[in-house]
Structure 1
Amino acid sequence: MRDGLAAYDVAMTGSQRLRIVPSQFAVDHLPNSTFPEDDEWIALVRAPEGLTVIREAPAWAEGEIWKGFYGEAGGLDTPGTLAALVGPLAESSVPVFVASTFHADLVLVPAHRLEEAVSALRDAGHRVAE
């Protein structure tokens, strides 16, 4: 296990069980929208600068494609759960985009960096099912 932030976070929250979501995703920004025109979205975040939309991306999609990790439910009152995941990815310089749910976090990484992300998370003590 690496030292620093990742070691601290895993010690605080324990090893997490993660699965790789079989879908691939696209993250879009719609600057002048408050809601997408279709219902093909997975998650929405509305902010002053517009709408961010996470969608399932078709196999033929162009642009940045993301793969997702989803963990077991940790609960809203468990501190450090998300930090324990993004810390090791940051240490490995793997970009992330996160959508949180009531039960867990969907942590997206660029599809071409998936193997690197899996290695970083496993090295930090997490269990990743493929």
Structure 2
Amino acid sequence: MTRSQRLRIVPSQFAVEHLANSTFPEDDEWIALVRAPEGLTVLRDAPAWVDGERWKGFYSDGDSHGLDQPGMLAAVVGPLAESSIPVFVASTYHADLVLVPDHRLQEATEVLREAGHRIAE
């Protein structure tokens, strides 16, 4: 079952960091944190000095779906996976922030449109 969604491209560029053996970052400039046995994953706006991969995000544009609607995330990441586009996801109560590598944004946008999603830029 396809769950067509209205998505917008978030204007920010993001960085995803792994801090081994950390339980909290040293600063408060983060957007999302995930603590796991192997360390801390930090999602933040990409600072100008970041040399690593930069990510761009797709987020729901008014189609808040809540926690009780199955298949919403799969409808977005499935077509991207079929096109071999890597993703990083940060889920919120209302929607999911689906990140793709910055240099693959245009390709990801086309893939999502072909899958029936509406993308606002």
**Alignment RMSD (CA, Å):** 0.9
- 1:73-112 aligned at under 5 Å gives the runs 73-112=64-103
Which amino acid in 2 is paired with 1:76?
Answer: L
Q: Secondary structure at the match of 1:41?
A: coil
Q: Secondary structure at the match of 1:45?
A: strand
Which amino acid in 2 is paired with 1:74?
Answer: H
Higher share of residues assigned helix: 1
Which moves more between the two structures, 22-31 or 50-59? 50-59
> Structure 2, unaligned stretches of length 5 or more?
none
CA distance in 2, matches of 1:75, 1:102: 6
Match of 2:26?
A: 37
Match of 2:15?
A: 26
TM-score normalised according to structure 1 size: 0.89
Match of 2:37?
A: 48
TM-score normalised according to structure 2 size: 0.95
Cα offset, 1:73, TM superposition: 1.0
Deviating above 3 A after TM superposition, structure 1's stretches of 4 or more consecutive aligned residues are none
Which moves more between the two structures, 53-62 or 113-122? 53-62
Q: Secondary structure at the match of 1:37?
A: coil
User: Structure 1 pair 62/116, CA: closer, same or farther in 2 (3 Å)?
Assistant: same
Cα offset, 1:60, TM superposition: 4.5
For these two proteins, the number of residue pairs brought into alignment is: 119
Match of 1:3?
A: none
User: Structure 1 pair 19/62, CA: closer, same or farther in 2 (3 Å)?
Assistant: same
CA distance in 1, matches of 2:116, 2:16: 28
Which amino acid in 2 is paired with 1:98?
Answer: V
Cα offset, 1:59, TM superposition: 3.9
> Structure 1, unaligned stretches of length 5 or more?
1-7
CA distance in 2, matches of 1:93, 1:41: 28
Cα offset, 1:16, TM superposition: 0.2
CA distance in 1, matches of 2:10, 2:47: 14
Match of 1:117?
A: 108
